[in-house]
């Protein structure tokens, strides 16, 4: 490991060489930033990963069942396990998806589950990302470069090779493909995750396309080739959010989507990865109910725990939140990317009262969670090794026949001492995640 | 890869053009810089006239800085390299990360040269990376159509610049021959009238630069 750390600057220079960047808009200006990489990996033992694998697979299976149920029979609502208003008031719920069964019945093909490990070594799920979770490409390319920088490190340690991600993704796309080519739809080069879109296209052999490259003709979606040489699309891994996917069905001003693609999807003539409408399942309010979903759909107890969460929507929980405001972190369910997260203890006087009033007035809009004292990870800093907060985004790929938990993941860390917000858009860095093979 | 969209054809062609433009203008820039040291301080005036770009430069020092490194100057070498980068960036799945990396590196080096005490020496790395990029195009890209579209753009730009810098007829004929080679190896439309006019003018040694440049601009229909 020490050997690898000697090469931290070289690896970062190589990441820059390959354009490993993310885009960010600040003051209405687009800027590309390098994503700082730390060579000290997060290490997950073989047994620990077996536990995570079981829990993640279980969780994503239940979430997929939930989505099929919500846009289908709605048994979970009828049985009173989840209050209806949590579903129908969710901004991720799309009425247009009612009654649609995606090809092979898979809704969330690529799921990004955010976890943290507490100081008690317990893993907690912080968030489910079932729409267009990003981040797998970073540890993927970093591993390749680290292996070159210090082959002996990888020779001596028994680390599962994570470079199968592209093959797993291709397998997932192929398994739901309705007949045609695989395409990755990007909003374009000014999207924050454009590096990932283009890198995954290269590695999976899928075609990278913008909305202009695609057209619906008849009941099918086509990639528009030069000279009228069009090719049918069977699977569209779209990295465009639901609202911009099809201006004829959703946001009509969208210029980055494909008109009528939703109609093709409805007819079962193209697989959309992930399916539209998944936002209802990764809503921060719905998150509270995921362990209940596991019990309801699978008849099992959830392996992975949520961070202790309170829903101000319930009177009892609201009273608790008001009483223990300083000990909790308050999250606005409509926000993402580390925004809309407020530590109760960080507010004073009027500001605190304002947020309390808002929670009382709009209880459905917020959740409150216990502040988990999560395990610090070692990070190489200019002054040597320091300890910083870090989370883990695990990737679960669900195809027609199997659920596969990727033996790696994106470990993001804060570069500020004591800070728990690790998002890249907030200045965080990333690490590789090693899963030991024995 | 097999199938290429209209937009990607356009990106590949212009990637070839912009990389060639940066490469060739860098060579001229170096020569001009040398000439301006002790022979002709007005070199840049003739240079702008030849390229048909506005002469916005107050003196040769201003030309060196602005034409070389000013991103706000649309005609500068750095602006053209950024355009090459813009086209390359959306083509990673066609040209490979390996080839794309050399455009990234050329960009880093040109930005580094801008801040250097010895910018001309630093520019050598930019040239090296462009040459490496073209090497990677041959080495890393399996699809002949993709390779040939880049090369078609490259030869189109080279002929354009040779015309502007008044190259000899034999030299123009040689470059046109290269362009012709790639034109007939890509499955794209071109203006046949413009093509034959150019071929005939070169054969008869009756090249009128302005007419040739117009024909060249009309030749490729992407």
In this structure, are residues A410 and A136 in contact, taking their beta carbons and an 8 Å threshold?
Answer: yes
Residues A270 and A412 in one domain: yes
| C-beta atoms of A226 and B5 within 8 A | yes
Which of A339, A370, A401 finishes a domain? A370
- A276 and A248 share one domain: yes
Pair A401, A383: CB distance under 8 Å:
no
Residues A358 and A230 grouped into a single domain: no
B1 touches chain A (CB under 8 A): yes
- CA separation for the pair A276, A260 (Å, rounded): 14
Q: What is the largest CA-CA distance in chain B?
A: 54
Q: Which residues of A touch B7 (CB under 8 A)?
A: 210, 212-213
What pLDDT, on a 0 to 100 scale, did the predictor assign at position A338? 65
> Could you say which of B6, B7, B97 has the minimum Cβ distance to residue A202?
B97
- Taking an 8 Å cut-off on Cβ atoms, the answer to whether A224 and B108 are in contact is no
What dihedral do alpha carbons B190, B196, B202, B204 form, nearest 10°?
Answer: 180
Number of domains in chain A: 2
pLDDT in tens, B108-161: 999 999 888 888 888 999 999 999 999 999 999 999 999 999 999 999 999 999
> B101 to chain A: which residues are within 8 Å by CB?
17-19
Which of A370, A395, A417 is the last residue in one of the domains? A370
In a shared domain, residues A343 and A405:
no
Query: Does residue B96 belong to the interface with chain A, where contact is any CB pair within 8 Å?
Result: yes
Predicted complex ipTM: 0.84
Residues A218 and A317 in one domain: no
DSSP H stretches of helix in A280-425? 284-287, 290-293, 315-323, 349-361
**Which of A316, A349, A370 finishes a domain?**
A370
**Inter-chain contact A199–B92, Cβ cutoff 8 Å?**
yes
B106 phi/psi in degrees, rounded to 5: -60, -40
Retrieve residue A242's tokens: 């639901």
Above 90 in pLDDT, residue B37?
no
* Record: contact B5-A223, CB cut-off 8 A: yes
SS3 content of chain B, % helix, strand, coil (to 5): 75, 0, 20
Q: pLDDT by residue (tens digit) across B4-19?
A: 999 999 999 999 999 9
- Dihedral sign computed on CA atoms, order A408, A409, A413, A419: negative
A228 touches chain B (CB under 8 A): no
pLDDT in tens, chain A (438 residues): 578 999 999 999 999 999 998 777 777 787 788 899 999 999 999 999 999 999 999 999 999 999 999 999 999 999 999 999 889 988 899 999 999 999 999 999 999 999 999 988 999 999 999 999 999 999 999 999 999 999 999 999 999 999 999 999 999 999 999 999 999 999 999 998 999 999 999 999 999 999 999 999 999 999 999 888 899 999 999 999 999 999 999 999 999 999 999 999 999 999 999 999 999 999 988 999 999 999 999 999 999 999 999 999 999 999 999 999 999 999 998 776 667 789 999 899 899 999 999 999 999 889 999 988 888 999 998 888 999 999 999 999 999 999 999 999 999 999 888 887 787 777 789 999 999 998
Bridge partners, A115 (sequence order): A125, A392
Backbone angles phi and psi of B206, in degrees to 5: -120, 50
Are residues A58 and A85 both part of a single domain?
yes
pLDDT for residue B35: 80
The verdict on A49 and A68 lying in the same domain is: yes
CA B94, CA B15: separation in Å to the nearest integer? 12
B42 touches chain A (CB under 8 A): no
Cβ–Cβ of B104/A18 closer than 8 Å? Answer: yes
Together in a domain, A286 and A409: yes
Work out the minimum CA distance from B162 to partner chain A, whole angstroms: 30
What is the extent of the structural domain holding A287? 2-301+374-435
CA distances, A44 to each of A9, A117, A159, A335, A392 (Å): 24, 11, 10, 30, 11
Residue A77 φ then ψ, to 5°: -80, -45
> Which residues of chain B does A198 touch, with a Cβ-Cβ cutoff of 8 Å?
89-90, 92-93
Pair A121, A269: CB distance under 8 Å: no
Claim to verify: residue A380 and residue A366 sit in the same structural domain = no
Residues 6+ apart with CB under 8 A from A424: A22, A35, A412, A430
Chosen for mutation from B3, B5, B143 (greatest number of chain A CBs closer than 10 Å) is B5
Subunit contact B7:A212, Cβ cutoff 8 A: yes
Output the 3-class SS for A52-96.
Answer: HHHHHHHHHHHHHHHHHHHCCCCHHHHCCCCCHHHHHCCCCCCHH
Distance from CA of B87 to the nearest CA of A (A): 10
% helix / strand / coil in chain A, to the nearest 5?
Answer: 35, 25, 35
Cβ proximity of A205 and A171 under 8 Å: no
């Amino acid at each position: 490991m020490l050997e690898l750390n000697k090469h931290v600057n070289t690896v970062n220079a190589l990441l820059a060489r390959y354009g490993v960047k993310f885009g960010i808009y600040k003051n209405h200006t687009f800027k590309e930033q390098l994503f700082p990489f730390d060579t000290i990996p997060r290490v997950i033992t073989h047994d620990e990963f077996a536990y995570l694998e079981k829990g993640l697979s279980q969780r994503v299976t239940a979430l997929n069942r939930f989505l099929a149920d919500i846009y289908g029979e709605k048994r979970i609502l009828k049985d009173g396990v989840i209050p209806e208003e949590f579903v129908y008031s969710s901004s991720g719920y799309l009425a247009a998806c009612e009654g649609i069964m995606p090809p092979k019945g898979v809704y969330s093909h690529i799921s990004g589950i955010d976890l943290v490990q507490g100081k008690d070594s317990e893993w907690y799920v912080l968030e489910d990302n079932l729409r267009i979770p990003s981040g797998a490409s970073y540890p993927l390319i970093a591993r390749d470069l680290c292996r070159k920088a210090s082959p002996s490190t990888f020779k001596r340690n028994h680390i599962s090779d994570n470079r199968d991600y592209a093959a797993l993704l291709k397998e997932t796309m192929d398994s739901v493909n309705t007949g045609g080519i695989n395409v990755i739809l990007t909003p374009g080069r000014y999207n924050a995750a454009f590096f990932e879109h283009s890198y995954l296209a290269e590695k999976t052999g899928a075609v990278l396309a913008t909305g202009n490259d695609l057209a619906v003709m008849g009941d099918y979606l086509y990639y528009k080739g030069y000279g009228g040489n069009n090719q049918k699309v069977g699977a569209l891994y779209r990295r465009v959010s639901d609202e911009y996917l099809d201006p004829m069905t959703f946001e009509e001003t969208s210029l980055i989507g494909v008109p009528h693609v939703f109609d093709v999807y409805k007819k079962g003539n193209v697989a959309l990865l992930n399916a539209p409408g998944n936002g209802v399942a990764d809503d921060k309010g719905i998150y509270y109910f995921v362990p209940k979903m596991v019990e309801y759909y699978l008849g099992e107890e959830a392996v992975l725990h949520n961070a202790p969460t309170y829903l101000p929507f319930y009177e009892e929980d609201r009273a608790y939140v008001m009483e223990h405001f300083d000990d909790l972190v308050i999250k606005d369910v409509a926000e993402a990317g580390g925004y809309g997260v407020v530590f109760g203890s960080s507010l004073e006087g009027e500001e605190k009262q304002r947020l309390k009033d808002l929670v009382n007035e709009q209880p459905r809009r917020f959740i409150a969670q216990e502040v988990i004292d999560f395990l610090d990870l070692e990070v190489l800093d200019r002054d040597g090794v320091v300890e910083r907060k870090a989370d883990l985004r695990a990737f679960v790929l669900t195809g027609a026949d199997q659920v596969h938990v990727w033996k790696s993941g994106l470990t993001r860390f804060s570069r500020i001492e004591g800070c728990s917000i690790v998002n890249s858009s907030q200045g965080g860095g990333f690490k590789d995640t090693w899963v030991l093979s024995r | 890869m097999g199938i290429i969209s209209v937009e990607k054809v356009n990106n590949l062609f212009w990637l070839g053009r912009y990389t060639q433009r940066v490469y060739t203008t860098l060579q001229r820039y170096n020569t001009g810089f040398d000439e301006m040291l002790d022979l002709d301080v007005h070199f840049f005036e003739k240079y702008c006239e030849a390229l048909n770009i506005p002469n916005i430069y107050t003196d040769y020092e201003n030309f060196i800085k602005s034409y070389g490194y000013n991103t706000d100057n649309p005609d500068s070498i750095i602006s053209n390299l950024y355009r090459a980068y813009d086209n390359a960036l959306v083509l990673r799945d066609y040209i490979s990360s390996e080839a794309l990396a050399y455009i990234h590196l050329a960009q880093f080096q040109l930005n580094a040269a801008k801040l250097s005490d010895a910018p001309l020496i630093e520019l050598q790395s930019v040239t090296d990376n462009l040459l490496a990029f073209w090497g990677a195009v041959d080495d890393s890209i399996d699809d002949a159509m993709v390779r040939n579209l880049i090369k078609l753009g490259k030869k189109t730009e080279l002929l354009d610049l040779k015309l502007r810098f008044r190259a000899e007829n034999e030299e123009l004929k040689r470059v046109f021959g290269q362009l012709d080679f790639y034109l007939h190896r890509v499955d794209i439309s071109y203006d046949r009238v413009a093509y034959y006019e150019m071929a005939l003018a070169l054969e008869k040694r009756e090249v009128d630069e302005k007419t040739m440049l117009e024909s060249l601009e009309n030749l490729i229909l992407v």
